[in-house]
Structure 1
Amino acid sequence: MTSHNPAAARGKGPLLTFICVGIFMVYLDSTIVNVALPAVQRDLSTDITQLQWVIDAYALAVACLLLTAGTLGDILGRKRIFLGGLVGFLAASVLCAAASSYEFLLVARVLQGAAGSIMIPVSLALISGTYPEPAARARAIGVWAGVGGLALAAGPVLGGLLVDSLGWQSIFWVNVPVGLVALAALVRMLPESRSPVGRRADVVGQLLFIAAMAGLVYGLIEASAEGWGAPVILGSFAAAAVALTAFVLWELRQDDPMLPMGLFRSPVLVVAGAVNFLGLFGLYGSIFLLTFYLQQINGLSTIETGVRFLALNLAIMLFSYVASVLAARYGPKIPILIGSAASAVGLFQFSRLEPGGGYDSYWWAMALLGAGVSLVGAPATVALLSSVRPEQAGTASGVSNTFRQVGSVFGVALTGTLLVQHLGDAVPGALSSIDMTAARRDRAVEALSSGDLGAIGDLPARLQGPVMDAVAPVFTDGLRIGFAAAAVGTIVGGLFALVVLPGRGKRPTTTPASPAPASRVTTG
């Protein structure tokens, strides 16, 4: 029964606040780490391929486990699962901060992402249960979404402040006091709830999905070091294909599947998901590459880098609101087309960057990318949800989030690999004319080909300037390749949207009812 008691409504406010605090940390840690990567590289002696894993280990864990996490909340209790995820996230943050090696940090990031993946869908189920009245629920979910957007935007600036003043470990330590306060409050305030319909976790489907995604990402990231034709890379892609095929076949046979395959009969859902995928591909790939451009090529500090990302982040915040207004007035197709074009222009401008380029050469490209991603994201989700029946909305929302998370994983994986592959091809020639001993040149080529520009500081002073002058254009050329690939992907997504998505006033045909229980609505 819905309560309209003002006192009861006020009591829900603190509960929503502390739930959103937990979600803020999860989204914050998807962007705050990027600006710390050069500091991590110096401290833990990592190359770019390993730094790709530091980012993607977290995002991959979130992407792979999102669809199952809501089901666990339905079965075991949403309060128990959310608080368990929060405790796990805080413990993993401590492990990240304490990491003294790349391997230790990588494992901690996987654990952190796994815990975060639990919190995202279960938090939405908790909010839905706390606000049963539709209008109040919509406002609460709007707050939840706004907090997530704020966290993504705040990550680079907050990360810059923390890294410059306290070191890269502080970006993980900051979670602990904030999270403990939220935990203490939620233990007392949060009521327990479960799905009224019996649920079953799709363990086999989950394991097959993890194997497929891990195989694909491993092949994409490690191809730069092993070569695209190496047996281990081809084997990785083959294993991923087998696991993905087995996953689809398994899901088709399940009464309560992790991912109902019937949803993909809707071309609108497929295209909307692809547009979300490609939008996040370009965004996260760009953040990854721009961090190295700003800090290692242009020599900016971490905080200076974070401040320059404000053009991107403020545009994301502003146009997230504009996108919802445009989608409501004109339908999702028009803002998606405008957003795809804006993103493509911004990414193509990044592909024209030069070493030492001033802020005036790229701030507006950042703003275009931020506006474009926002104009694509919310309308694509609206189109996706409009293509399914109401009882499938929760599952479809989970599918949308998974597309977005997988896009962010693949964006970092592919753009970073293209950069490292270019460095391996071009660095030896760039250093060939510099006067140094053969042994020193070989060591420099090995380090710089892996993207470790910090190795230039280990050279004699007389060599540092010439080596940087020789390598900076090569490094920037590698960045351009990644930006261009992301721009092409964005254009492809826009073309698909142009052809498939219905125009204003036309409603897409919904998919047939899924045998999945209606309780999935709460798990998206």
Structure 2
Amino acid sequence: MNSAVHPALASRRRGLHLLLITLGLFVVYLDGTIVNVALPDIQSSLGTGLRGLQWVVDAYVLAFGCLQMAAGTVGDSVGHRPLFLTGLIGFTACSAVCALSGSIEWLLAGRAVQGAFGAILIPVSLAMIRGMYPEPAERAKAIGIWASVGGLALAAGPVLGGWLVEAYGWESIFWINVPVGIVVAALLLAAKAPAAPRQARKLDAPGQIGFLAFIGLLAFALIEGHSRGWGSPEIAGSLAASGVALVAFLVWELRAKQPMFPLRLFRNPVVTAAAIVNFLGFLGLYAILFQLTMFWQSAEGLSPVETGVRFLSLTASIMVFSFLGSSWSAKLAPRLVIPASLVAIAAALAGLTLPDPGDSYLSFAWALVLLGFGISMAGTSATNAVMGAVTPERAGAASGIVSTTRQVSAIFGVALAGTVLSSQIEGAAPGALAKLPLAGEAKERLLEAWRSGAIGGELLNSAPGDVRELVAREGARLFAEGMHATMALSAALSVLGAAASLLLFRLSAGRKAGASAREPEEPRPPSAVPSDSSPGA
């Protein structure tokens, strides 16, 4: 009896698993944009400042980004499917913990553990897809579906999150993950799993600890440096310790027999280019998500739903072009698409420095659409390029590296947003306060509020009626100038990433040409007659 699976049946099974994988990822992507929309409500409810809000984002992203390399490696060893299930169930449970948090400390703890479980899902899911779809054309389409479902969550997140915050409070943005996670986990457990290759690899605990220490200490210094003082013992010590951790991490990884972060993968220029693209190209995106949320709600008085609707020009663009980019990237050379996409990102970020507070939304919506286009094309093309440049047994580690650099970009994007914004407000606040007819004590309270990122709401309600409009205008101007400075810096970094990726792809092409020239032709018998089926055809 022939036990072979009918091709159509095998295709349907692969399609079912792809659907479940992408639905599991939906809650992770949804969490990213929903949380940003809820930040002003969290600030008001838990009484935290700008630094606390940065940590609400970065506590999650720090664990989420730094643990993905280990997740990819462990998935290669123990199996991608069981590890994916573990991450999904843990992420769902931690979402409930975050929703039940009654203080900023508990929320940050819940976010950190939630990020640790979420770290499993991205690289492991991509490796699962790599194993299910060995053919490049089919794999490119599957990755496009994977990316477009994430884009759908990104598009739905701000609007859904805004509605939930207005109707039920910030806690509801975490409760929404729970039923989705339970249903997807149950269906995935019930589905038959396709066979997948495994590679026995040992977890590189010292390497993981060293990398986490390096990123964590550096993020702490960047977020806390402005308020504590850049020359304070805590910040100087954190920066020094971060440098030591980096050196120790690199030395260990070079000597380890089974490193968590296979540095030799960076000998492949495509992998190096993808890492640079994901870090420098995505930096401005995460800064925008953080700063625009605060600006629209605190400075311009928009509701969470109105804020979510405004983000649709960005998130819907990401959704659409992630889907289209899957087919385009299979036809267009990454060496051309990726640098051009980074230039588009830089142009969009530069465009966002032009509008002033109170300007029409249409005056900068085009820049958000262009940013979504650049982000989608750069991300999809880089991912496809890497998946085609590594062997299947290295797919988990390679995808972990690519995704980790993107999440590390989120860490420093949020840190950059807060640091530049705080520095701008600190430097320009004396001039703004001089314009206000307020007593010295009132000016001190106003300065402290501005430093914490509070521009509207209770701050304006407590101001005298005759100066309320002037206070709002000056606060919005300070915040906008800080955003413009952040966007200008991010645009410059995107241009740098475009130049670096162009050079690396040229290096890769040169190596391939050199390798082809050195390969000897296979000898052919004199009597052989060329045919279409011959190896040399």
Provide TM-score, normalisation by structure 2. Answer: 0.88
TM superposition shift of 1:192: 9.1
Deviations 1:74-95 (A, max 9, x none): 4445444322222211111111
TM superposition shift of 1:419: 0.2
User: Which residue pairs with 1:168 in the alignment?
Assistant: 170
Q: Distance in 2 between matches of 1:329 and 1:507?
A: 22
TM superposition shift of 1:501: 2.1
Deviations 1:363-404 (A, max 9, x none): 001011111112222223344455556654442222111111
User: Which residue pairs with 2:481 in the alignment?
Assistant: 477
Q: Is the 8 A contact 1:316 1:371 kept in 2?
A: yes
TM superposition shift of 1:134: 7.3
Q: Distance in 2 between matches of 1:510 and 1:173?
A: 56
Whichever residue aligns with residue 285 of structure 1, its letter is A
Does the C-alpha gap of structure 1 residues 297 and 105 become closer, same or farther in structure 2, counting only changes over 3 Å?
same
Q: Is the 8 A contact 1:320 1:378 kept in 2?
A: yes
User: Which residue pairs with 1:456 in the alignment?
Assistant: 459
SS at match of 1:315: helix
User: Which residue pairs with 2:364 in the alignment?
Assistant: 362
Does the C-alpha gap of structure 1 residues 323 and 78 become closer, same or farther in structure 2, counting only changes over 3 Å?
closer
TM superposition shift of 1:119: 2.2
Does the C-alpha gap of structure 1 residues 247 and 504 become closer, same or farther in structure 2, counting only changes over 3 Å?
closer
Superposition pairs of residues 349-388 of structure 1, within 5 angstroms: 349-385=351-387, 388=390
Does the C-alpha gap of structure 1 residues 343 and 399 become closer, same or farther in structure 2, counting only changes over 3 Å?
same
TM superposition shift of 1:324: 4.1
Q: Is the 8 A contact 2:270 2:508 kept in 1?
A: no
Q: Distance in 2 between matches of 1:333 and 1:210?
A: 32
Deviations 1:343-365 (A, max 9, x none): 11211121122111111211001
User: Which residue pairs with 2:69 in the alignment?
Assistant: 67
Q: Distance in 2 between matches of 1:158 and 1:467?
A: 32
Does the C-alpha gap of structure 1 residues 12 and 349 become closer, same or farther in structure 2, counting only changes over 3 Å?
closer
TM superposition shift of 1:429: 3.2
Q: Is the 8 A contact 1:48 1:450 kept in 2?
A: yes
User: Which residue pairs with 2:279 in the alignment?
Assistant: 277
Superposition pairs of residues 85-484 of structure 1, within 5 angstroms: 85-127=87-129, 139-189=141-191, 191=193, 196-385=198-387, 388=390, 392-453=394-455, 454-462=457-465, 463-484=467-488
Does the C-alpha gap of structure 1 residues 59 and 459 become closer, same or farther in structure 2, counting only changes over 3 Å?
same
Does the C-alpha gap of structure 1 residues 141 and 323 become closer, same or farther in structure 2, counting only changes over 3 Å?
closer
TM superposition shift of 1:484: 0.8
Whichever residue aligns with residue 51 of structure 1, its letter is L
User: Which residue pairs with 1:53 in the alignment?
Assistant: 55
Q: Which runs of 5+ in 1 are unaligned?
A: 512-524
Does the C-alpha gap of structure 1 residues 110 and 208 become closer, same or farther in structure 2, counting only changes over 3 Å?
same
Q: Distance in 1 between matches of 2:76 and 2:331?
A: 36
SS at match of 2:121: helix
Q: Is the 8 A contact 1:266 1:510 kept in 2?
A: no
Whichever residue aligns with residue 356 of structure 2, its letter is E
Deviations 1:158-215 (A, max 9, x none): 2122222222211111111111112222232254978543221111111111101101
Q: Distance in 2 between matches of 1:99 and 1:192?
A: 39
Deviations 1:84-118 (A, max 9, x none): 22221111111111122111111111111111112
Does the C-alpha gap of structure 1 residues 253 and 506 become closer, same or farther in structure 2, counting only changes over 3 Å?
closer
Does the C-alpha gap of structure 1 residues 5 and 342 become closer, same or farther in structure 2, counting only changes over 3 Å?
closer
Does the C-alpha gap of structure 1 residues 220 and 440 become closer, same or farther in structure 2, counting only changes over 3 Å?
same
SS at match of 2:61: helix
Q: Distance in 1 between matches of 2:389 and 2:460?
A: 55
User: Which residue pairs with 1:20 in the alignment?
Assistant: 22
Does the C-alpha gap of structure 1 residues 268 and 179 become closer, same or farther in structure 2, counting only changes over 3 Å?
closer
User: Which residue pairs with 1:492 in the alignment?
Assistant: 496
Q: Distance in 2 between matches of 1:142 and 1:365?
A: 24
Does the C-alpha gap of structure 1 residues 287 and 2 become closer, same or farther in structure 2, counting only changes over 3 Å?
farther
Q: Distance in 1 between matches of 2:255 and 2:509?
A: 37
Provide TM-score, normalisation by structure 1. Answer: 0.90
Total equivalences in the alignment: 511
Q: Is the 8 A contact 1:273 1:400 kept in 2?
A: yes
Whichever residue aligns with residue 220 of structure 2, its letter is Y
SS at match of 2:59: helix
User: Which residue pairs with 2:533 in the alignment?
Assistant: none
Q: Distance in 2 between matches of 1:353 and 1:485?
A: 16
Whichever residue aligns with residue 255 of structure 2, its letter is R
Does the C-alpha gap of structure 1 residues 14 and 496 become closer, same or farther in structure 2, counting only changes over 3 Å?
closer
Whichever residue aligns with residue 475 of structure 2, its letter is V
Q: Distance in 1 between matches of 2:394 and 2:183?
A: 35
TM superposition shift of 1:331: 1.0
Whichever residue aligns with residue 44 of structure 1, its letter is L
Q: Is the 8 A contact 2:123 2:399 kept in 1?
A: no
Whichever residue aligns with residue 424 of structure 1, its letter is E
TM superposition shift of 1:241: 1.1
Q: Is the 8 A contact 1:281 1:486 kept in 2?
A: yes
- Structure 1, 268-277 or 55-64: larger mean CA deviation: 268-277
TM superposition shift of 1:11: 4.6
TM superposition shift of 1:239: 1.0
Q: Distance in 1 between matches of 2:492 and 2:181?
A: 40
Does the C-alpha gap of structure 1 residues 509 and 396 become closer, same or farther in structure 2, counting only changes over 3 Å?
farther
Whichever residue aligns with residue 309 of structure 2, its letter is V
TM superposition shift of 1:130: 5.7
The root-mean-square deviation of aligned C-alpha atoms, in Å, is: 2.7
User: Which residue pairs with 1:515 in the alignment?
Assistant: none
TM superposition shift of 1:411: 0.9
Q: Distance in 2 between matches of 1:5 and 1:145?
A: 25
Q: Distance in 1 between matches of 2:513 and 2:468?
A: 62
Q: Distance in 2 between matches of 1:470 and 1:438?
A: 17
Whichever residue aligns with residue 486 of structure 1, its letter is S
TM superposition shift of 1:456: 1.3
Whichever residue aligns with residue 482 of structure 1, its letter is T
Does the C-alpha gap of structure 1 residues 125 and 3 become closer, same or farther in structure 2, counting only changes over 3 Å?
farther
Does the C-alpha gap of structure 1 residues 67 and 231 become closer, same or farther in structure 2, counting only changes over 3 Å?
same
Whichever residue aligns with residue 366 of structure 2, its letter is W
TM superposition shift of 1:23: 0.9
Deviations 1:45-97 (A, max 9, x none): 12112111111111111111111113333444544432222221111111111
